[in-house]
Structure 1
Amino acid sequence: MFAIFTKIKDRIEAFLNEKNLVTDCLNKIEEKTGIKKRYLVLGAAGVTGAYLLFGYGASLLCNLIGFVYPAYFSIKAIESPGKEDDTQWLTYWVIYGFFSVGEFFSDIFLHWFPFYYVCKCLFLLWCMAPVSWNGSQILYRRVVRPLFLKHEATLDGMVNDISGKAMTAAENVTREVLHTLVRNRTISPADPEAKRLTTSAPTEPTVD
């Protein structure tokens, strides 16, 4: 347990020593108030926890916590040459997506529970914790990955079928719209797309 807090503390210290918008604001506040950045962060964390317990709009704040920090480090992972951090944050977003879908159906019941948003926030923090056995890694390896590998072929077939039907429907709608525009002279028949449409469209039978 002590090792977890040590790693989290090291990650926060590294973040505070970086050059970004948040640390710039913290530096300015530190200069004006004389309060060290780490204490400002601890105070902000305490206020955030209290707001999650008693404040209005705790759901929005909780979602921001689960989105802003991972989004920032996901962008850094994309820009970095290594692949390990890419996998880490992709795993987080997979779990975040499953959690969001599940929460959509259960939120009407769960949000009435005491300390619901605190528990949700702690869960998201666990999923993004800078340790090898964080929540996203454990849930992906033990739940998501086995289910995906078991049903991968079926899921691929469903996705390909849906994609094919969607593309066919889009092509049919586009063809009908262009054909209507050509018939109504909204676009010129000399237009390349219109020529392709009229030549590919079926001809009506003639009666002698």
Structure 2
Amino acid sequence: MPVPPQVQKVLDDVDKQLHEPSTVTNVLATVEQKTGVKRLHLVLGVVGLQALYLIFGHSAQLVCNFMGFVYPAYMSIKAIESSNKEDDTQWLTYWVIFAILSVVEFFSVQIVAVFPVYWLFKSIFLLYLYLPSFLGAAKLYHRFVKPVAARHSGSIDAKIGNFADRVNSAAGKLANEVRDHME
């Protein structure tokens, strides 16, 4: 059965990445050489096992959130340290979408009860958000978040300013009361 062209492109991109010099690809090259199994097939096997664990595993939520946090956090640190502004924008955009997803996910207990493969789909979605071949976070941001933020930024800024004024006023009153009691 032939592989659809979109899937073949992803497989080719992954295989290309698996042949670029790095610590991980060096380990994969050694395993490939000793077992005779192509490194792409090794990675696909690990991905398949990971997918099964995300469906049936006891700590699937932890593993999924680990996937959505550790690599992006590491890449964000690298972006902060680089002089390139584009990678900063990419990772800030990812974290905005990740934060929105985290708020929506407050209802995950109910979602998982009805949709048991939720953690697998969330993991795939997180990969879509941050992998360079997709950059889904930027697509979602420009399609959904940016228009909403632009439309409501004036009222949001005013409410934040109003809230900040209230907090400053309350803090001032509290400081005065503490001073009065101390005297």
Q: TM over 0.5, yes or no?
A: yes
- Residue 79 of structure 2, aligned match among 56, 77, 80: 77
Q: Per-residue deviation at 1:162?
A: 1.0
Residue of structure 2 in register with 1:152 after alignment: 153
After superposing on structure 2, the runs of 4+ consecutive aligned residues of structure 1 that deviate more than 6 Å are: none
Mapped to 1, the partners of 2:82 and 2:105 lie a distance apart of 32
Residue of structure 2 in register with 1:49 after alignment: 51
AA at the equivalent of 1:55 = G
Give structure 2 stretches of 5+ with no counterpart. Answer: 1-5
- After superposition, what is the alpha-carbon deviation per residue over 1:103-159, rounded to whole angstroms, capped at 9, x for unaligned? 11x31321121311101111111111213x532111101100000111111111011
- Residue 122 of structure 1, aligned match among 97, 121, 124: 124
Aligned residues: 171
Q: How does 1:19-30 map to 2 (within 5 A)?
A: none
CA contact (8 A) 1:8 1:130 kept: no
* Between structures 1 and 2, the one with greater helix share: 2
The residue matched to 2:131 in structure 1 has which SS? coil
Change (3 A) 1:110 1:174: same
CA contact (8 A) 1:126 1:134 kept: yes
CA contact (8 A) 1:62 1:117 kept: yes
| Identity across matched positions, percent | 39
Residue of structure 2 in register with 1:168 after alignment: 169
| RMSD (Å), alpha carbons | 2.8
Which deviates more, 140-149 or 106-115?
Answer: 106-115
Change (3 A) 1:157 1:6: farther
The residue matched to 1:151 in structure 2 has which SS? helix
AA at the equivalent of 1:173 = L
Mapped to 2, the partners of 1:48 and 1:87 lie a distance apart of 30
Residue of structure 2 in register with 1:62 after alignment: 64
Q: Per-residue deviation at 1:42?
A: 5.0
Give structure 1 stretches of 5+ with no counterpart. Answer: 184-208
- Structure with higher Rg: it is 1
CA contact (8 A) 1:8 1:129 kept: no
CA contact (8 A) 1:52 1:117 kept: yes
TM-score scaled by structure 2? 0.79
